[in-house]
Amino acid sequence: MLRAIDGYSGQPLAQLALQLTAHVFVGPGELRRAEWHEFDLDKAIWTIPAEKMKMCDPPVVPLSKQSLALLESSKAISAGQRYVFSSLYPGKRPMSENTINAALRRLGYSGKEMTAHDFRAMASTLLNESGKRSPDAIERALAHKNSNAVRGTYNRGAHWLERVEMAQWWSDYHDVLREVGEVLSFPTGNLADSTS
């Protein structure tokens, strides 16, 4: 699928949105409504305003080297516009909420096979199964609230350093899958049972 996305022949911003969706852990709504002022490319962070996420704290998304390169490519097309992934007509609105899903359909993936939102589920599943990252860091990266009300009240850690490392590992993993086409085996069992 990653190679198919790289070969997408439709609108260039749609391709870049598809590519970035695979690297970051945000929902399709946050991605398509991303505004240039939210990004600090020098610090490799994206701060999403809380009102876009319906959260008290604005989530800060660490950006991998690959994500930064995709944003630089997007800038060549949409610099000077409000939205990173703007609509073509008239260019002052974000791309349609259907754009990424339509691009996936154009690539031959049905709604049962892949949707824009499924990139988040894929990240959650594979990162948890990898045994390389703590579940708390993964949940924080996905901007999920802690389901345990007491634990959520007291555990306010952002797991920032782990999330930065995880973002880069995730993008590097995509590169391995794209270039080599081999699926890396992950250890089975609980993270607590893992020795690495």
- pLDDT by residue for the chain (196 residues), tens only, comes to 999 999 999 999 999 999 999 999 898 999 999 999 999 999 999 999 887 765 555 688 999 999 999 999 999 999 889 999 998 776 789 999 999 999 999 999 999 999 999 999 888 888 888 888 888 888 888 865 545 444 443 344 568 899 999 999 999 999 998 888 655 555 555 544 444 4
pLDDT digit string, tens, across residues 123-156: 888 888 888 888 888 888 886 554 544 444 334 4
Residue that is written with structure tokens 């749609």 in the block: 14
pLDDT recorded at residue 148: 46
By percentage, how much of the chain surpasses pLDDT 70? 80
pLDDT recorded at residue 44: 97
Residues whose CB falls within 8 Å of the CB of residue 84, separated by 6 or more in sequence, listed in order: 34, 35, 36, 39, 71, 74, 75, 78
Question: Do residues 18 and 85 touch, judged by C-beta distance below 8 A?
Answer: no
Which residues is 109 bridged to in the sheet?
none
Coil vs helix vs strand at 60:
strand
Identify the burial level of 164 via C-beta atoms within 10 angstroms of its C-beta, where 0-12 means exposed, 13-18 middle and 19 or more buried: middle
| Domain ranges across the chain | 2-181
Cis peptide before 135 (omega within 30 of 0): no
Question: Do residues 131 and 191 touch, judged by C-beta distance below 8 A?
Answer: yes
| Backbone phi and psi for residue 165, each to the nearest 5 degrees, phi listed first | -65, -40
CB atoms within 10 A of CB 193: 9
Domain 2-181 CATH superfamily: Intergrase catalytic core (1.10.443.10)
Residue 82's identity, in one-letter code, is R
pLDDT recorded at residue 57: 58
